[in-house]
């Protein structure tokens, strides 16, 4: 798990993208966000952690053959979260 604190000026954009593009189960605080990176598809599970912080809980890597594996490496989780932050903040 990785906890990422957002800058005040980026928080609204990042949170808006997570809630708009992510899917969530009823009565769940977690969002699943699909990300494609280097030909691999990932589903990143994140959760609001209070005071402009997002907890990146885990990711699932889905390969072209349909197989999947759980990703819990903190470096990769942080990199995938940085992609979401970059995409959110460069849009405006």
Per-10-residue mean pLDDT, the chain, length 92: 90 90 90 90 93 94 88 92 88 56
Q: Nearest-5° angle of CA 77, CA 7, CA 87?
A: 55
Given this model, what pLDDT does residue 47 score?
94
Separation between Cα atoms, residue 21 and residue 34, nearest integer Å: 8
pLDDT at 72: 85
What kind of architecture, by CATH, is found in domain 2-90? 2-Layer Sandwich (3.30)
| pLDDT of amino acid 69 | 93
Helix axes 8-21, 74-90, angle to 10 degrees: 100
Give the model's pLDDT for residue 59.
95
Specify the pLDDT at position 90.
80
């Amino acid at each position: 798990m990785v906890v990422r604190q957002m800058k005040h000026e980026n928080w609204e954009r990042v949170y808006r993208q997570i809630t708009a593009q992510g899917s969530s189960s009823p009565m769940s605080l977690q969002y699943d966000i699909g990300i494609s990176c280097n030909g691999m598809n990932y589903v990143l599970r994140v959760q609001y952690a209070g005071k402009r912080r997002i907890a990146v809980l885990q990711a699932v890597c889905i390969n072209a053959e349909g197989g999947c594996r759980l990703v819990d490496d903190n470096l990769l989780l942080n990199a995938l979260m940085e992609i979401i932050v970059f995409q959110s903040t460069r849009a405006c």
